[in-house]
Amino acid sequence: MERRRVVVTGLGAVTPVGNSKDELWAALLAGKNGAGRITQFDPSGFDSQIAFEVKGFDPSKYIPNPKDVRRMDRFVQFAVCCSKMAVEDSGLDLSKEDPYRIGVVVGSGIGGLKVIQEQTLVWKEKGPSRLAPLLIPMLIVNMAPGQISIQLGLKGPNSCVATACATGNHSIGEAMRLIQHGYADIMISGGTESAIVETAVGGFCALTALSKRNNEPERASRPFDKDRDGFVMGEGCGIAVLEELGHAMKRGARIYAEVAGYGMSGDAYHMTAPAPSGEGAAMCMKLALEDGGFKPEDVSYINAHGTSTELNDKIETLAIKKLFGQQAYKIPVSSTKSMTGHCLGAAGGVEFIACVMAVKEDIVPPTINYETPDPLCDLDYVPNKARKTKVDLAISNAFGFGGHNACIAVKKFLP
């Protein structure tokens, strides 16, 4: 059976630099940084006191019933609102579609950690009888796709991925395959996260993974720069409407780009550290290219995982050189986490939007805060300023704790 082609027809975003696809893209091209001192709790006493928080988010715009809002953790609110944005952007009239042919694959790396934290204190202080009746459905990760399907009336394949920071890429890749193999015509897919809470920040501090550049939050996320000292937590959501090409063309949809390849691998090495050889990361890129029928020399742009940690940036660079050889030095590589922070399970969804727009507009977003080159990170990281260049094929990397690696290939749409 010939695989069906999959295109992107709608995008929705809630991020630290803008709460729509257009705001996000404009901010990335302008090199806007969304970091600041944490406001969602008092971070005094934490080694890292900074984060990339979503600002000005109003769920009532897309979830008009206040009761529904109260029953959703913030990460679920992000997902529902972004999905409705993406459907709106796609021009789909869901009332005219078969709901059993539209599905959802949306994941989160951590899920409802805030409600877990709050309700644990309720239990300790007031006893188990005072726990919220909806504690469990509010905290479970799969409630993001669950609520999207409920809110939009979608009855097709409904699933959830939780692979830490690779979640968004895995979600989009699995959604693509469901369409390719005929299980759905339309999929809502991406990643969502809202975990800027004491336990998460404290846990990452205990791992010594976070930047301590508390007096300069806007300069703290600096992927591939020699003076990087850890990642900066972010939150948000990135959602795409993926659609079978024939279905999209029949309804006259605007097509942003084509999703053309998906690769994944496991490091089988360590709970938090990437394999030193970069073999797993190189393999998932290789598999994504092979899945789409591409060669390494076809790649125009790499949206790097680029977390701003010493190990990730060094080993991702090594992996790119391992796969691409000398060609690696000719490919623009940038990390949009320099502007959005590391949105954990949402990172792949947000960065997928950056890749789609780079392919559509032939512009590569920059890596900001790149000031001091690292001899071990010696590729073209598009320093500090967006670059106009032909982008026919972009790949987006995502690597998660546990050794989860996922890569998505996006190409310019040609009928």
Which sequence positions are flagged as catalytic? 165, 305, 342
d(CA 85, CA 13): 8
Amino acid of residue 134:
L
Query: Residue 359's Cα: distance from chain center in Å?
Result: 17
Count Cβ atoms below 10 Å from residue 297 Cβ, excluding itself: 12
Burial class from Cβ neighbours inside 10 Å (0-12, 13-18, 19+) for residue 135 reads middle
Count Cβ atoms below 10 Å from residue 388 Cβ, excluding itself: 10
d(CA 355, CA 391): 9
d(CA 409, CA 8): 12
Burial class from Cβ neighbours inside 10 Å (0-12, 13-18, 19+) for residue 94 reads middle
Residue 125, classed as helix, strand or coil, is helix
d(CA 68, CA 355): 33
* Residue 75 structure tokens: 């990460």
d(CA 11, CA 17): 16
Residue 38, classed as helix, strand or coil, is coil
H-type alpha helices, 252-324:
279-291, 310-324
d(CA 116, CA 139): 7
d(CA 77, CA 237): 10
d(CA 246, CA 344): 34
What single string gives the DSSP state of each residue in 60-118?
GGT---HHHHHTS-HHHHHHHHHHHHHHHHHT--GGGS-GGGEEEEEE-SS-SHHHHHH
Write phi, then psi, for 268 (nearest 5 degrees): 50, 50
